[in-house]
């Protein structure tokens, strides 16, 4: 039986990073840091996350320069809750309105690159119920302390239905097998689909963003191809509690991830798939799954104009 490979990148722990030290090191380097949340119908949790970042990492310690929430067409009070707690809130359709319409989490993240101004961009999921400031300091720590690190993924334990483990079903049943077979050099990432990660703008702006559920695995593959495994880190953030979706809602997510991975492996050339599901009465239904991509944002004239960059050709 083959010996399992050592985890690479080597896991770190959020407790290693002191906010005051990071703030001082950030100031010495002249960095700006943006925390961004793509959010759709998350009024129950987004306000607490924004307030925690603002109070602990902006007011108490000058580490984060801004919190930006991209409201992805919410039908509840997500935008109001985030703005009340101090976030700069922008509707997804109001950012880069001259570009073609898009949809999904990855589309909101792509637009947040234009909306935010930080040299370092930290993304957080807006549905986390037990959020604390170490989620941010853990993700930013390797970037602030080591100029050779370009991308940081968080990992954590994921409770499910009151049990201490069991979350991350799509990770275990889809993403991890795909990486192990198609991209074994990435198999050491503990939470490849985790929504908490951070990176350097000058790297993130050069890679495409899958619009929907495939954004995490797409970014992981593309960033490592761009900068190498040695320029990445993963950090233990402890326990993450969030809204777990019922099983019948996970199929479309898994399909988007599958299409994204197969496309990056050069095995398919599609950005849309049709998933067949069955009701409790065994009636078949077809679900369209979109895995379209936004191009590297440095190919967008408005972005390059805003940040004083030379426009790059698409492709």
Q: What percent of the chain has pLDDT over 90?
A: 78
* Mean model confidence pLDDT for the chain: 92
Predicted pLDDT of residue 1: 55
Dump pLDDT digits (tens) for 242-286: 566 666 778 899 999 999 999 999 999 998 899 888 888 888 999
pLDDT at 312 over 50: yes
Each domain of the chain, given as residue ranges in start order, spans 11-247
pLDDT-derived band at 163, boundaries 50, 70, 90: very low
pLDDT at 108 over 60: yes
Dump pLDDT digits (tens) for 187-236: 999 999 999 999 999 999 999 999 989 999 999 999 999 999 999 999 99
Predicted pLDDT of residue 296: 97
Predicted pLDDT of residue 58: 98
Write the CATH number of the domain with boundaries 11-247.
Answer: 3.90.550.10
More confident residue, 247 or 119: 119
Task: State how far the alpha carbon of 138 is from the alpha carbons of 152, 198, 237, 278, in Å.
Answer: 9, 10, 7, 42
pLDDT-derived band at 159, boundaries 50, 70, 90: low
pTM of the model: 0.93
More confident residue, 148 or 246: 148
Q: What token pair was written down for 93?
A: 């359709």
Predicted pLDDT of residue 222: 98
Predicted pLDDT of residue 275: 87
Over the Cα atoms of the chain, what is R_g?
19
Dump pLDDT digits (tens) for 65-90: 999 999 999 999 999 999 999 999 99
**Mean pLDDT of the 284-295 span:** 92
Phi, psi of 29 (to 5 degrees): -90, -5
pLDDT at 42 over 80: yes
- Rounded to 5°, angle at Cα 91 from 88 and 93: 145
Predicted pLDDT of residue 166: 46
Cβ burial 48-68 (10 Å sphere, 16+ → b, else e): bbbbbbbebbbeebebbbbbb
From first CA to last CA, the distance across the chain in angstroms is: 42
Q: What is the C-alpha to C-alpha distance for residues 172 and 185, in angstroms, rounded to an integer?
A: 17
Q: What is the C-alpha to C-alpha distance for residues 275 and 149, in angstroms, rounded to an integer?
A: 38
Q: What is the C-alpha to C-alpha distance for residues 313 and 315, in angstroms, rounded to an integer?
A: 6
More confident residue, 113 or 280: 113
For the ranges 156-165, 173-182, 250-259, the lowest mean pLDDT is seen at: 156-165
């Amino acid at each position: 039986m083959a010996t399992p490979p050592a985890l690479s990148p080597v896991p770190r722990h959020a407790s290693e990073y002191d906010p005051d030290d990071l703030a001082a090191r950030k100031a010495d380097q002249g960095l700006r840091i943006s925390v961004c949340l793509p959010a759709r119908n998350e009024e129950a949790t987004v306000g607490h996350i924004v307030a925690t970042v603002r109070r602990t990492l902006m007011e108490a310690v000058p580490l984060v320069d801004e919190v930006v929430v991209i409201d992805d067409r919410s039908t509840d009070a997500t935008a109001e809750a985030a703005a009340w707690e101090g976030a700069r809130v922008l509707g997804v359709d109001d950012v880069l309105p001259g570009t073609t319409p898009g949809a999904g989490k990855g589309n909101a993240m792509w637009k947040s690159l234009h909306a935010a101004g930080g040299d370092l961009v930290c993304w957080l999921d807006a549905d986390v119920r037990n959020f604390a400031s170490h989620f941010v300091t853990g993700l930013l720590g390797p970037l602030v302390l080591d100029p050779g690190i370009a991308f940081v993924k968080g990992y954590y334990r994921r409770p499910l239905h009151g049990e201490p483990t069991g979350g991350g079903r799509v990770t275990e049943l889809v993403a991890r097998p795909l990486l192990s077979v198609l991209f074994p050099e990435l198999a050491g990432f503990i939470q490849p689909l985790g929504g908490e990660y951070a990176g350097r703008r000058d790297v993130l702006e050069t890679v495409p963003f899958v619009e929907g559920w495939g954004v995490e695995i797409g970014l992981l593959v593309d960033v490592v191809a761009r900068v190498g495994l040695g320029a990445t880190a993963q950090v233990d953030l402890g326990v993450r509690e969030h809204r777990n979706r019922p099983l019948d809602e996970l199929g479309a997510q898994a399909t988007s991830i599958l299409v994204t991975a197969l496309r990056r492996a050069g095995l398919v050339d599609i950005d849309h798939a049709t998933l067949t599901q069955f009701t409790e009465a065994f009636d078949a239904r077809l679900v369209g799954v979109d895995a379209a991509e936004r191009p590297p944002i440095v190919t967008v004239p408005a972005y390059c104009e805003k940040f004083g960059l030379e426009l790059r050709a698409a492709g």
